[in-house]
A and B are shown apart, each in its own frame.
Chain A
Amino acid sequence: MAKVTLKGLSHSYLKTQSSDADWAIRGVDIDWNDGGAYALLGPSGCGKTTLLNIISGLITPTKGDILFDDKVISGLSPVERNIAQIFQFPVIYDTMTVYDNLAFPLRNRKVPEEEIKVKVHEIAEMLELSSTLNNRASGLTADGKQKISLGRGLVRSDVNAIMFDEPLTVIDPHLKWILRSKLKELHQKINRTMIYVTHDQTEALTFADQVVVMHEGQIVQTGTPVDLFEKPKHTFVGYFIGSPGMNVLPCQIKGNDVIFNGKKIETHQQIKKSNFNKTEVGVRPEFISFSNEGIPVKVLSVSNTGRHKIVDTESETGKIKIIAKSNEDIPSGSAFLKFKKEYTYTYGDSWIIE
């Protein structure tokens, strides 16, 4: 168990770097507390797997340091770092039984066979694998195999951190949910630092206490699921999290006023500076309502998801999505919209203006 700290971490797969795009990750600083559950969330190719592999020691970063419990471990091998990692698709040793698979990391570390037996049975019990211990591992279903790879990480009681690299990708949807709650339960039971990489917001938000959102190799926001939803610090967080994502529309800043669609609108922040190349206003569909006055729009279509209605509208500046209650009457043709002030933010060059 350990506290994980990343300091000024940058990595490039190229020998020389000329622009920002040459870096897989750049300038990452993270502090993860001992025993926490964290998620790294971002689309494919944002650098989250690279970051994970740097922490586990499979990749050596170009710049920066990794610290476990305030000790620099950047130069250590994966074995010396004593971490566990679960990969996207289940990695099992085909020729071995489930028992031997679980015992493998311990045997490699020359743990006495007696101790191994106790440990393996304990973990198998926890993961509900006890009945299959003597079967060939290759005969199991995908979720069973993924449990084995998870088990191989859990048998070592002294691991510093357990890392998950999109572990539910190959699992059937109905088993995903079970396995996910199993993970959450395990985390509470064994209380070890867990880092979970995914592009699926539901997985990240349900698993983690703290979610780190990555975009093009950078961390755009770290926070609780509620923070990410209610106050996205970057337009990317706005539209990546939420379904549908945040409405992000161009606006102008004149003095201290935000001008949207030709009119001044109220946003959460006080605007003090305005030297941006691009300014946008962002508001989640959940925080927009129909009104008698406000922003004039044309209602394009309404789709009912059962729990609520998603309304597509078009203003002069762009399309706006609204989430309305399923029993709400939706005006047809032209209508007016009102943004909830507390949840409407202004962004300068994609970052929130503080």
Chain B
Amino acid sequence: MNKTVNQKAWFFVIPVFVLVAFNAIIPLMTVVNYAFQETFGNNVFMWEGTRWFKQIMLSERFHASLGRQFLFTFIILFIQIPLGIAIALTMPKEGIGVPVCLVLMSMPLLIPWNVVGAMWNIFALPDIGFLGHSLNALGFDYNFTQQIGDAWFTTILMDVWHWTSLVVLLSYAGLRSIQPAYYQAAEIDGASRWAIFTKIELPKMKKVLTIAILLRFMDSFMIYTEPFVLTGGGPGNATAFLSIDLVKMALGQFDLGPAAAMSLIYFFIVLLVCWVFYTLMMRNEEKS
């Protein structure tokens, strides 16, 4: 069949294009503009080529914050994904417990980031905070404002508290969508609880888990507000993750060029990791 060629249809795309331009393309192009030039204000720009990119790529400071960022992301994924699945498995499947659990689980997700940071800051204060005071009373030498280990511990604990629920809710949805016949068949086949988990539940949860890992990767990789309020990146630079470091560079030191270059590199890393991860998961999907 011959399709009718009608280029006028492109006009319908204009509204979307304008919207996307305003909220994404134009701001991004401004950053690109800064990344290749040097400015001293007054709208005077000098062409710098790839100088800022080279500088960032070779900078130890960037390597350190990138390393911290990856370490943080891996740790929280390593804790939140298994923990989320485990909690989802133990949640009730029927009765009044279902809505109760779901509401309790969604609570942390509804709290604004800066409130979470402030809450945990007060909660963990070594002298008056419940957590900090209790730990010290139990004999631990705990002070998240001064000791690197404690700062990491608190930041990770805060993130786990804030975001494990997301993994729980997604996993729970995945588990609930499994037909009861699968469990019945497994029971008749004499499958152990572990076999049911690895052969039925995990494969059936694969899609929601892919989403969960992707979301948690992106969110944790771009984390800013909570650690900023909790530790401010300290002690020293111990918890200065990429975005905290970026803001310091851009707004603290006013190094707009290098900061813009770093933003772009940062952006491409997130994009690349997500793309690789998604492609790998989906390629497996096609095979089956």
Q: Point out residues on A near B: beta carbons under 8 Å.
A: 53, 56, 58, 77-79, 83-85, 87-89, 91, 93-96, 104-105, 108-109, 136, 138-139, 149, 152-153
Contact = CB atoms under 8 A, between A and B. Distances in A.
Contacts of A96: 199
B288 A79 contact: no
A85 B188 contact: yes
A78 B181 contact: no
Given A87-B181, A88-B181, A136-B287, A79 B192 contact: no
Contact of A94 (B179, B181, B192, B203): B203
B195 interface: yes
Contact of A89 (B181, B195, B287): B181
A84 B203 CA distance: 23
12 contacts: A53-B184, A58-B187, A83-B188, A85-B184, A87-B181, A87-B185, A88-B181, A94-B203, A94-B204, A108-B195, A136-B288, A149-B185
Interface string B179-208: 101101101111110010001100110000
B192 to A, nearest CB: 7
Interface in B261-288: 287-288
A11 B185 CA distance: 22
Contacts of A138: 288
Contacts of B203: 93-95
B181 A95 contact: no
Contacts of A53: 184
Given A93-B200, A95-B199, A136-B287, A108 B192 contact: yes
B208 to A, nearest CB: 15
A153 B189 CA distance: 8
B199 A105 contact: no
B288 A94 contact: yes
Contacts of B187: 58, 77-79
Q: Which 3 A-B pairs have the closest CB atoms?
A: A108-B190, A91-B185, A87-B181
B53 to A, nearest CB: 43
A93 B199 contact: yes
Contact of B190 (A58, A79, A89): A79
Nearest to A109: B190
A108 B185 CA distance: 13
Most chain A CB atoms below 10 A, which of B189, B191, B200: B189
Contact of A104 (B181, B182, B184, B191): B191
A58 B185 CA distance: 10
Contacts of B288: 94-95, 136, 138-139
